[in-house]
Amino acid sequence: MIVVETKQDLINKLDSYQSHQTIGFVPTMGFLHEGHVKLIEEARKANDIVVLSIFVNPLQFGPNEDFESYPRDAERDEAIAKQAGVHVLFRPQVDEMYPEKPSYTVSVRNRVNVLCGKSRNGHFDGVATVLTKLFHLVQPNRAYFGMKDAQQVAVIDGLIKEFHFPIDLVPVSTVREEDGLAKSSRNVYLNKEERSQAPILYKSLKIAEETILNGERNKQAIIERVSSLIKTETSGIIDYIEILSYPELKELDVINGKIIIALAVKFTNARLIDNITIEI
């Protein structure tokens, strides 16, 4: 595995690959876990070269979100990436990606005013801006993102289509603990009691799925059932529970077609998100 830290070194390294080998790209903010490894494994299956980026992007953090405290472990991340079979690790510093205050950013107007986007104004502008930079630098054939953050996948789907990037978006299923909790770098912030409660989130989503597949089409009734379970079985505070079309993320009058059931729950020091998609 080769580690590069500058844009020019990345361009120079990938130049020898781009004309005759396929490139799979896995963009991350580091603190790698099994979910990231699964993305790398999927990329390896379908591509000659796997590029992994690790960059904690300041444009994604709002005024009440501490960029400085985001978990980082460069040495551990490098070891995991190498073990997983990454060929090129791109690990730039902030001043490499943003040498000056950005004069141009990408503004996302659709698919952002629901779910996490409602409370994170500008977050997906930051995601779209940094990915536009990274897509141009890496020029991958395929890009891999986890469905744990399904709204992000939907936004990236729109970004690729809007700007005609010649990239295949590959969504990868959420990796879970044995008890169903979605793998996340934020899980380390759960205390012991909260960690024992957290699997209820996925359990509630599966109950909602079963309810829909059994014929229930009243969206509010389904949401109330999920809400009741979370309030009864956990100490978490519900941020949202929503049922929307996917990937358009539009409100539904009738539950039909491909939908997403998504939720976010705040615990003491961690805000957990989870979702499932269903085809009706």
Report, as residue numbers or ranges, the catalytic residues.
Answer: 36
Number of Cβ atoms within 10 Å of the Cβ of 76? 12
1 annotated ligand binder: no
175 annotated ligand binder: yes
User: Could you give the 3-state DSSP secondary structure of residue 152?
Assistant: helix
Q: Which residue has the tokens 């980082």?
A: 72
53 annotated ligand binder: no
Determine the angle formed by the axes of helices 123-138 and 150-162, rounding to 10 degrees: 60
Beta strands in 108-208 (DSSP E): 142-146, 168-172
Residues in the chain: 280
Buried b (16+ CB within 10 A) or exposed e, 116-152: bbeebebbbbbbbbbbbbbbebbbbbbbbbbbbbbbb
19 annotated ligand binder: no
User: Could you give the 3-state DSSP secondary structure of residue 99?
Assistant: coil
97 annotated ligand binder: no
Give the alpha-carbon dihedral of 59, 81, 149, 57, to 10 degrees. 0
266 annotated ligand binder: no
34 annotated ligand binder: yes
Hey, CA dihedral for 135, 141, 147, 153, is it positive or negative? positive
Q: Which two tokens stand for residue 107?
A: 């503004």
29 annotated ligand binder: yes
52 annotated ligand binder: no
226 annotated ligand binder: no
91 annotated ligand binder: no
133 annotated ligand binder: no
Residue among 223, 199, 226, 219 at smallest CA distance from 280: 219
- Which residues are annotated as part of the binding site for ATP? 29-36, 146-149, 175, 183-186
Binding residue ranges for beta-alanine? 60
- Annotated binding-site members for (R)-pantoate: 60, 152
- Binding-site sequence positions: 29-36, 60, 146-149, 152, 175, 183-186
